[in-house]
Every structure is written in structure tokens, then in C-alpha cells.
Amino acid sequence: MKKIAVILSGAGVFDGAEIHEAVLALHAIEKAGASWHCFAPNMNQHHVINHLTGEEMPETRNVLVEAARIARGNIEDIATLNATDYDGLLLPGGFGAAKNLSDFAFAGPNCTIHPDVKRVCQQFAEEEKPAGYLCISPALIPLIYGEGAKGTIGNDPETAKAFNQMGGEHIECPVDDFVFDQERCLLSTPAYMLAGSISEAAAGIDKLVQQLVKLA
């Protein structure tokens, strides 16, 4: 059975992994006949957001501990992840990808990626194993794959501009499809950058994951 490594960034759209995207992705992996294996950095979140009010909360939470909620405890520290042991990689979105896995939400095109996340993603790239990036997580693509890497982050002009400034080639894509950079075995889909419902997000995620597992 093909094994897909999934990198989570917490739990909750505003400060962690987008929960709908993460669950849809894990379900899609199983439907495609593969197994999923979750990982997250063992670090504090950038901040904690009250998802009811949108306000910042005066507390600290750990990314790995929060991500374990989504994975039902079946998760490991990303420091232990080695691309050699897996057939493909998947990163759901949510602001955690831009606040915890990287600082894209604050630094834009001048952002950096968490060292372990960068190491792992670059390892999958170097080994030419397929990787899928959902929603805002494609913001990491140019820093991992370098000049000319193709990807989509929906149709927000500022985000697309930042993607291009970092050296990527942004491609607008409908919510029910994905962008495939064949040269790099790299896939991306807008998910909740465009989706107005769970069903819309699922349409693109399902297609991307089917292709990801096929390539793995």
C-alpha cells in the first residue's frame, strides 16, 4: 500500500490546519487506496485565535498537540519524518501553513519556512516524489522548488503577486481542479482559497489526491 505523509500545522483555520481540508484529504487518501501518516512541528503556535470571535487569545498552544486532535492522536513530530519512507507528501492549508509552518502571513515574499518543514519538503522534491499543496500552503512552493515552479493559490491578486515575486509561476485554477507541474511532480488546488462549501473544497482535493496517489 502506498504511504502518504501529511504535514499538519495545528487545528483550526485561523491559527492552524484547516480542519475540513485536512479531513477531506485523509479521506481522499484512503478512498484512493493509500494510507496517511500525519506529522507536525513540535513548537508553539504563532498565536491562538478564538474561532468564535476572531480575536487573539492570551494563551499558548503547541502545533503538534493541536494537530493531534485532527489525527486522533495518530501523529508524529516532523523531526522524525524522512521522505525515503513515504511515497508522496500532502500539505493541507489553513493559516497555520502561513503562520506556523512559515511566516508567509507576516513577511509575504520575504518569508522563511520552519527548518524541519523545509528539509522534509525539499527531500520529497529532490527524490522526485509527488507532493500536493492545498489552499494557502502552495505559498511554500517557490522556496522549496525554486525558480519557475508552478502552483495556484486561488485568484487573490496580492497572494499571486507574492508567489511570483518569490520566483514561482502562479496559475489561476477553479476550485474543482488542480494545477500539475509535471516537471516537478507537484500538485496544488485552491480549496478554501475559493471554496464556499465543504463540497466545493472536496471537489478539487479529491481530484488532486487521486492524481497524487496515482503518481506515488
Does residue 140 surpass a pLDDT of 90? yes
* pLDDT mean across residues, the chain: 97
Q: How many residues does the chain have?
A: 216
108: left (phi over 0), alpha (psi -120 to 50) or beta: left
User: Does 121 participate in catalysis according to the annotation?
Assistant: no
Q: Determine the average pLDDT of the residues in 168-177.
A: 97
Strands 56-57 and 48-49: antiparallel
For the segment 144-162, the average pLDDT, to the nearest whole number, is 95
The catalytically annotated residue of 38, 121, 135, 173 is: 135
SS3 label, residue 46: coil
Mean pLDDT in residue range 102-111: 97
What whole-number distance in Å separates Cα of residue 181 and Cα of residue 214?
15
Spell out the domains of the chain, with CATH numbers in brackets.
3-215 (3.40.50.880)
Percent of the chain with pLDDT over 90: 99
Give the pLDDT confidence score for residue 156 in this predicted structure. 87
**Distance in angstroms (rounded) separating the CA atoms of residues 168 and 164:** 5
Mean pLDDT of 169-180: 97
pLDDT of res. 70: 98
Q: How far apart are CA 46 and CA 60, in angstroms?
A: 9
Query: pLDDT (tens digit, 9 = 90+) per residue, 20-61?
Result: 999 999 999 999 999 999 999 999 999 999 999 999 999 999
* Structure confidence by residue, pLDDT tens digits, 52-105: 999 999 999 999 999 999 999 999 999 999 999 999 999 999 999 999 999 999
CB-based contacts of 116-123 (< 8 A; 24+ apart in sequence): 116/41, 116/78, 116/79, 116/81, 117/7, 117/41, 117/78, 118/143, 118/144, 120/5, 120/7, 120/39, 120/78, 120/81, 120/83, 120/89, 121/7, 121/89, 121/91, 123/82, 123/83, 123/84
Residue 132, strand partner residues: 90, 187
Phi, psi of 173 (to 5 degrees): -145, 135
What pLDDT score does 2 carry?
A: 98
